[in-house]
Amino acid sequence: MGGLKPGDPSVAGSALPVLRQRGQREVFCGLTGIVWLHRKIQDAFFLVVGSRTCAHLLQSAAGVMLFAEPRFATAIIEERDLAGMADANEELDRVVDRLLARRPDIRMLFLVGSCPSEVIKLDLSRAASRLTAKHGPAVRVLNYSGSGIETTFTQGEDACLAALVPELPATQAAAPESTPELMIVGSLPDIVEDQFLRFFAEMGIGPVRVLPPRRAVALPPVGPNTRFLLAQPFLGETARALEDRGAVRLDALFPFGSEGSFEWLRAAARAFGVDEARFEAVVAPARERATRALARHRGVLEGKTIFFMPDSQLEVPLARFLSRELGMIPLEVGTPYLHRAHLARELEALPEGTTLSEGQDVDRQLDRVRAARPDLTVCGLGLANPLEAEGLSTKWSIELVFSPVHGFDQAGDLAELFARPLRRRDMLKV
Amino acid sequence: MQLTLWTYEGPPHVGAMRVATAMEGVHYVLHAPQGDTYADLLFTMIERRNARPPVTYTTFEARDLGGDTAQLFQTAARQAYERYKPQAILVGASCTAELIQDDPAGLAEAMRLPVPVIPLELPSYQRREHWGAAETFHALVRALARRDIVRTPLEGRRPLANILGPTALGFRHRDDLVEIRLLLAALGVDINLVAPLGASPADIATIGQADFNILMYPEIGDTAARFLEKQFKQPIVRTVPIGHGATCDFICEVAALAGVDPAPALALGSRMPWWSRSIDSTYLTSKRVFIFGDATHAMAAARVARDELGFEVCGLGCYNREFAREVRAMAGEFGVEPLITDDYLDVEAAITAAQPELVLGTQMERMIAKKLKLPCAVISAPVHVQDFPARHSPQMGFEGANVLFDTWVHPLVMGLEEHLLTMFRDDFEFHDSAGPSHLGAGHGGGKAAAAPDSPQPSNSPAEEPEGWTADAEKELLKIPFFVRGKARRNTEAYAASQGIAAITVATLYEAKAYHAR
């Protein structure tokens, strides 16, 4: 195990060797995605079928942020369910009845599988069809797994969106040569989504669909005339499911920073035959604003070294953004999972000498952090304070998933997230 | 299956982590799937600990399940031993690993590690966090305590006590411990050890030296204390010194066991008695208070509320069934229905029905109170980042009693402020929609608070023979906003019970007289 292996040479941009070590992985499981997904799809409810640990995780990851009654809950498996004293399916039906009676506003219910439900092989897809038959058409019940044995953190969103794809209606035009439609895939804060929609409208691209939709009752159609842009780098399964429906992925950098946003929008402009001059004219003001916003942070970040612990799969595009637009030096870019095809262009843009690592042995990785003493370490909540106590500045990565960071007008905010810990370190005299 | 929106306790292995993290020289090897490492953030973020908890997770994935997860466990255990060189190792399984039945205990034993290996059997689908902590502490004490210790007679030397219960991630454990040390110092009692917090396995070995045990948190320390009582004939100090009166009782109980004079410790005193007797506190009289938390804190709060602040306890309950009997007994004594549940929705329903004027609860009840627009103070775990203040803020001892007075009374409208609000009700800044100033501007008190009480589109009383007459509505508006909702409900309930269709000013005052306490 371990050691440097060259990447697959058949895929462009994979020249960098990848370090793979096996040990403790200090990552969230896919259930965590519920924390942002339930805010995004406003008439959906997420019911985890799992253990007290699952409920405790969600509460710990989300608890401090939520004072409203959340649209997620856990059906906690108990001893009697395991001992066969209660029929787990009957129990689940009873829990869903109680839940839907309490929340009549819910139109879509996700049964979310967990480690225990997977291990005991509770068939949630059968449960979902049974419950759809019972509560439909008012409520549609779907299922996906957010278990830690199958998913890491953002892969939970991938699993959720992939479960939505078979439910999407077909586009009107079935033939591939009919008028193309654009789909943005990946949950974005509404404000960012609206910015992108305005760009496409100004370029004359339409109709533009969004997955996930803000309301589950308004699912976007998909078909062979669908061209889709991934807004997030962690949507491998969703992309495959869309491709199975005939949709075509537009390859682009991910829309982080000015360059990423420009390339991402341009991929759509080109696919939809938008005149280059018109495209440039549409994005020019925002691009110029992004340039100005980034310049403010360059002084703090330029020449600083950065180490990414694996977390959200955003690591590779963020390292590309920080190195190319702010002059940072990525030492190691760790990611829980490296999707080579979707990241091909991103990997090409990483500077030489960057160590790529996939998976984790957290103890050995921390040894590398301590040896390298980077100016900034991007890591999860469990590691940040201990590293700070060792005198290493950190940026907690979960904020990168919860904050609006995509697009031209958030490029400065994204840079600020990395600059703030460094500025703070210099400000404090205590 | 149990539908759970919020949970009061984590799984039992989190309790074990709280014990391991509190101690020195202990490492916990936990067979657990990827993702269970979230628990680290409880310690590093909520409690702001500056080191990772001493826990190694095997973090197995689906692809490992077909292979050898047992091998994975042994590799993790060996690497953890080599890297951290602990004095003792705890081994166990989280909920998912429990299902795959790899037997961490047997696997660890087979490895013949050169330090004590203590297996933990924590059934995740039956038990919870506090039980897990209690069981872990008990297992450590059983395994590590030297049995051959013989105590010298107490005569001619200073008495020696163990302090049991404080852990990592405990509700004010850090500060409570300071207060207990202070009281023992005043009594002339020496401390043999504090455990789990700060104790090493070598310290635990000497636990039998103490003359008696002080049980700070029965939820965590009771099982071990009972074992020690049997093994070393160490009596247990059971009074939990939360509140002025309980602190005095605690001092007397310790003094009696130690054979020392309680007077120097009692003389330390708290401000609670005078603050409570001072004239501004008169308005606290018979405020209805709903209390919910872990059993120890809830029961202590009930005594303080009734005896030291003059509140009326209108609800009492706990979420940990292990201590249900004690809470039921106390609820009986207080003449209220005990609420023993860990279902957040049940607690919400009970608080709504009880219509308290103050809620003393956990962070969960704080959310409920916020929703119901009731003042609330937090008295118990589960913990939140706010429960780890930078300042010293104990619950126990005399300073704890001072803290209780402040933190429970401040959410209420101050006595003087209450009078001013009534006097200046029509003043533009004091008008109803200005909202309660003590809840802060962001509270949304304005419209939200006024909305349920605003008069219905008013027709003349002649056209509206049922419900509130215009005069009665007007009179209702003269009642301060923070009790108006209750006045409305009481009046309507009274009218319904008397078969009165139209509520007049007279009905309002009849109802007031009827409901007067």
Q: How many CB pairs under 8 A join A and B?
A: 185
Last residue of a domain, one of A151, A168, A197: A151
Q: Does A29 touch chain B (CB under 8 A)?
A: yes
* Contact by Cβ (8 Å): B293, B362: yes
Gap between the Cα atoms of B177 and B170, Å rounded: 11
The per-residue pLDDT for range A196-219, each reduced to its tens digit, is: 999 999 999 989 999 999 999 899
| Residue for token pair 């210099």 | A426
CB within 8 A of B18, min separation 6: which ones? B129, B133, B167, B168, B169, B170, B196, B220
- Residue B444's pLDDT is 38
Query: Which helix (H) or strand (E) covers residue B30, if one does?
Result: strand B26-31
User: Which residues of chain A from 350 to 409 reach within 8 Å of chain B, CB to CB?
Assistant: 363, 380-386, 388-389
User: Which residues of chain A from 53 to 82 reach within 8 Å of chain B, CB to CB?
Assistant: 53, 55-57, 59-61, 63-64, 67, 69-70, 73-79, 81-82
Q: How many domains does chain A have?
A: 3
The CA-CA-CA angle for residues A275, A279, A284, to 5°, reads 150
- Residue A261's pLDDT is 98
Nearest CA in chain A to B60: A149
Q: HEC profile for B377-445?
A: EECCCCCCHHHCCCCCCCCEHHHHHHHHHHHHHCCCCCHHHHHHHHHCCCCCCCCHHHCCHHHCHHHCH
- Residue B445's pLDDT is 36
Q: Collapsing DSSP states into helix, strand and coil, what is residue A221? A: coil
Residue A45 lies in domain: 30-151
Same-domain pairing of A323 and A377? yes
Same-domain pairing of A268 and A187? yes
Q: Do A385 and B123 touch (CB under 8 A)?
A: no
Last residue of a domain, one of A283, A309, A329: A283
* Contact by Cβ (8 Å): B319, B294: yes
Look up the CATH number of the domain holding residue A121. Answer: 3.40.50.1980
Same-domain pairing of A204 and A138? no
The verdict on residue A169 lying in a domain is no
Gap between the Cα atoms of B234 and A38, Å rounded: 53
The verdict on residue A330 lying in a domain is yes
More confident residue, B58 or B443: B58
Give every residue of chain A whose pLDDT is below 70, as ranges: 1-15, 63-68, 173-177
**pLDDT at residue B427 greater than cutoff 90:** no
Which among A59, A61, A95 has the least Cβ separation from residue B3?
Answer: A95
The per-residue pLDDT for range B19-39, each reduced to its tens digit, is: 999 999 999 999 999 999 999
Which among A63, A76, A383 has the least Cβ separation from residue B1?
Answer: A76
Same-domain pairing of A302 and A271? no
- Residue B453's pLDDT is 42
* Contact by Cβ (8 Å): B282, B416: no
Q: Do B50 and A59 touch (CB under 8 A)?
A: no
The verdict on residue A165 lying in a domain is no
Which among B1, B100, B385 has the least Cβ separation from residue A64?
Answer: B385
Sheet containing strand B88-93, edge to edge, reads B55-57, B26-31, B88-93, B117-119
The per-residue pLDDT for range B302-356, each reduced to its tens digit, is: 999 999 999 999 999 999 999 999 999 999 999 999 999 999 889 999 999 999 9
**What is the set of active-site residues of B?**
280
Same-domain pairing of A303 and A384? yes
User: What are B165's two structure tokens?
Assistant: 């219960």
Nearest CA in chain A to B82: A363
- Residue B425's pLDDT is 56
Q: Does A91 touch chain B (CB under 8 A)?
A: yes
- Residue A17's pLDDT is 85
Which whole number is the average pLDDT over B391-395? Answer: 97
Q: Does A88 touch chain B (CB under 8 A)?
A: yes
Max mean pLDDT range (A98-102, B132-136, B470-474): B132-136
Which whole number is the average pLDDT over B74-94? Answer: 97
- Residue B421's pLDDT is 60
Q: Do B44 and A382 touch (CB under 8 A)?
A: yes
Q: Do B41 and A26 touch (CB under 8 A)?
A: no
Same-domain pairing of A76 and A140? yes
Question: Among A168-177, B88-97, B206-215, which stretch is predicted with the lowest mean pLDDT?
Answer: A168-177
Q: Which of A167, A246, A279, A255 is nearest to A212 (CA)?
A: A167
**For chain B, what is the radius of gyration of the CA atoms?**
27
**pLDDT at residue B388 greater than cutoff 90:** yes
**pLDDT at residue B131 greater than cutoff 90:** yes
Last residue of a domain, one of A151, A172, A201: A151
Nearest CA in chain B to A102: B345
The verdict on residue A157 lying in a domain is no
Which among A26, A56, A82 has the least Cβ separation from residue B37?
Answer: A26
Residue numbers in A near B7 (CB within 8 A): 52, 55-56, 59, 74, 76
The verdict on residue A13 lying in a domain is no
Best of A72, A93, A120, A149 to disrupt the B interface (most B CBs within 10 Å) is A149
Length of chain B (residues):
517
Q: Beta-strand (E) ranges in B294-357? A: 312-318, 338-340
Measure in Å the smallest separation between the Cα of A117 and chain B Cα atoms.
9
Q: How confident is the model at residue B420 (pLDDT cuts 50, 70, 90)?
A: low
Same-domain pairing of A321 and A398? yes
Same-domain pairing of A59 and A104? yes
Same-domain pairing of A221 and A273? yes
The verdict on residue A232 lying in a domain is yes
- Residue A173's pLDDT is 67
Q: Where are the alpha helices (DSSP H) in B87-162?
A: 95-100, 104-110, 129-144
Same-domain pairing of A186 and A127? no
More confident residue, B385 or A310: A310
Q: Collapsing DSSP states into helix, strand and coil, what is residue B329? A: helix
Beta bridge partners of B290: B315, B359
Same-domain pairing of A261 and A336? no
Same-domain pairing of A316 and A421? yes
Mean of pLDDT over chain B: 90
Q: Collapsing DSSP states into helix, strand and coil, what is residue A259? A: helix
Residue numbers in A near B57 (CB within 8 A): 24
* Contact by Cβ (8 Å): A261, A284: no
Q: Beta-strand (E) ranges in B446-517? A: 467-468, 502-503
Q: Does A127 touch chain B (CB under 8 A)?
A: no
Interface pTM (ipTM) of the complex? 0.92
Gap between the Cα atoms of A208 and A228, Å rounded: 9
- Residue B155's pLDDT is 87
Task: Supply the pTM of this predicted model.
Answer: 0.89
The verdict on residue A168 lying in a domain is no
**pLDDT at residue B215 greater than cutoff 80:** yes
From the CB of residue B379, how many other CB atoms can be counted at a distance below 10 Å?
27
- Residue A285's pLDDT is 96
Q: Identify residue B243 by its one-letter amino acid code.
A: G
Which among B10, B37, B96 has the least Cβ separation from residue A56?
Answer: B10
The verdict on residue A2 lying in a domain is no
